[in-house]
Amino acid sequence: MYPSIIENLAHHAMTNPDKLCFADERKELTYKETWEAIYGLSEELKARGIRKDDCVVIECNQSADFMIFDLAIQLAGGIFVPLEKNVALARAEEIAGDTEAALFVGKKPLEGYDFMEIDEACSYAASPAALEDVAFPDINDVAEILFSTGTTGKSKGIVLTHRSNISIAENVCQGVKMKADNVEMIPMPTSHSHGLRRSYANLANGSSVIYIGKITLLKKLFSMMDQYGVTSMDLSPSMLSIIFKLSKDKIGEYADVMDYVQLGSAPLPEEDKQHLARLLPNTRLYNFYGSTEAGCSCLLDFNEAPGKKGCIGKPAVNSKFIVVDENRKEIQSSPDNLGFLASTGPINMKEYYKAPELTKEAMPDGDYIYTKDLGYIDENGYVYMLGRKDDVINYAGIKISPEELESLIVKNPLIKDCALVPVDDPLTGQAPKLYISLEDSTKDEYDVKAFKVFLSEIIDQNKQPKYIEIIDEIPRTFNGKIIRKNLIALNK
């Protein structure tokens, strides 16, 4: 691969110009059209004063236009700073201010900043005389700053270089065995690392990317899958759950055409793994582990290696894992000797934006990124992640993994969603409290005594929730992670 995503795309435009590059709900573009739009827009950005390392903040609209702006910013030497779709004004102002944005791109202006409408993406199409005349980014240049939504604390800016992006693209392409004629449906938000990195991987590979704005528009989703001959999908566990709930087993109708499905961004419930495997028995089904700081670092094809509970697979080509103790010393881990997962490789972030103390905490040696994820590596090199240390509930000496129990509890047909969190207890220090939300159609059927009987049948007695409370919705991030701090705060 070439040193940056945009340089790979440019070469694909030269060798396969008429191949579909992007399609969304409004337009479709070949590689030649996409490259010309990116190159022309990059020249316009430079004419408007964008210089090397200038930050350009852009609001996502889940489209080809968004990606064209992304890559044009990078080609112009700027730094791409994406915001989520329909971002709150306060968050847009905060991030634009923190990054001293030279330009804001979106649907409407942001007071105090130069502005371009995102619909202008294809308005300046032009073509260089030859690729040799184009100044592509250096592999060590900063490509983007991704601000986390996070489940705890203030949003952090993760600084990523072109080396990070191209190395992650290699992890994805080689990990999923991506074919040259791959056509991937990506409903995951491209303002965040998961959907963005799958887009990059396909562009580096010369494949086709299909975008849809809302996963709940299932008729449109399946229609576009048919229209473009989609051969792969990128989903979060919550999106897969929506597909199952709203369309029954319709995804099984694509068993003969789907090459692979990749899932990530949050733990995938075991029952959903098993159900998807039954519907797509010959499709490669990948569960990716990673983070914005060190994305797409480990993966498992759970159709090929079923029954590995808690397994996140083997490290991808540009990743290496170790397990460390509380003092960050490497240990020989096992199911009976858990430690904390740490990983290294060219995929790693450069730093946290304007936060050297946070960078030092996460990467004290400038090499490994250390996590609070508890796990081990088995004798065959498979990595297991059993939950975050901060999430584990210590109940009278018994360690309870919330995710393990939640995946069992949500099987109850009355339960729409659930979350288990620690609460203060005068006798045991901590005790597990279960929050549940009920399906609207079955709220009248819920009986607390019957539910406790159900819990006694699926959960060991010493891990039973001490408290149960019904709430309207379980708080989650865009990609399905439970925001446990919000539930814990309800008990303070």
Same domain, 400 and 370: no
* DSSP of 173-204: HHHTT--TT-EEEE-S-TTSHHHHHHHHHHHH
Instruction: Look at residue 238 in the predicted model and tell me its pLDDT.
Output: 79
pLDDT of residue 36: 98
* pLDDT for res 23: 98
Same domain, 202 and 278: yes
pLDDT of residue 265: 66
Count CB atoms within 10 A of the CB of residue 125.
17
pTM: 0.85
Residues 222 and 368 in one domain: yes
Reduced to 3 states (helix: H, G, I; strand: E, B; else coil), residue 489 is helix
Whether residues 374 and 409 share a domain: the answer is: no
- Give residue-wise pLDDT tens across range 15-27: 999 999 999 999 9
Beta strands in 24-141 (DSSP E): 28-30, 55-59, 79-83, 103-106, 115-117
451 and 359 inside one domain: no
- pLDDT value of position 453: 95
Domain coverage including residue 433: 393-489
Q: For position 363, which CATH number holds?
A: 3.40.50.12780
357 and 434 co-located in one domain: no
Mark whether 247 and 126 lie in a shared domain. yes
Regarding whether 45 and 78 lie in a shared domain, the answer is: yes
User: How far is it, in rounded angstroms, from Cα 178 to Cα 135?
Assistant: 29
Last residue of a domain, one of 358, 384, 410: 384
Q: Which of 363, 384, 405 is the last residue of a domain?
A: 384
| Judgement on whether residues 266 and 191 belong to the same structural domain of the protein | yes
Q: Tell me: do 291 and 415 sit in the same domain.
A: no
Say what the pLDDT of residue 40 is: 98
Among 364, 384, 404, residue at a domain's last position: 384
User: Given this model, what pLDDT does residue 154 score?
Assistant: 64
What's the DSSP call for residue 250?
Answer: G
> How far apart (Å, rounded) are the C-alpha atoms in residues 112 and 103?
10
For residues 231 and 261, give the distance between their C-alpha atoms in angstroms, rounded to a whole number.
9
Residues of the chain with pLDDT under 50: 150-153
Q: What angle do CA 419, 425, 431 make, to 5 degrees?
A: 35
Same domain, 282 and 421: no
CATH number at residue 477: 3.30.300.30
**Do 339 and 376 touch, CB atoms closer than 8 A?**
yes
Structural domains in the chain (count): 2
The one-letter amino acid code at 467 reads Y
44 with 186, same domain: the answer is yes
Dist. CA 159–CA 57, nearest whole Å: 14
Long-range contacts of 300-307 (CB under 8 A, 24+ apart): 300/382, 302/273, 302/277, 303/277, 305/382, 306/273, 306/274, 306/277
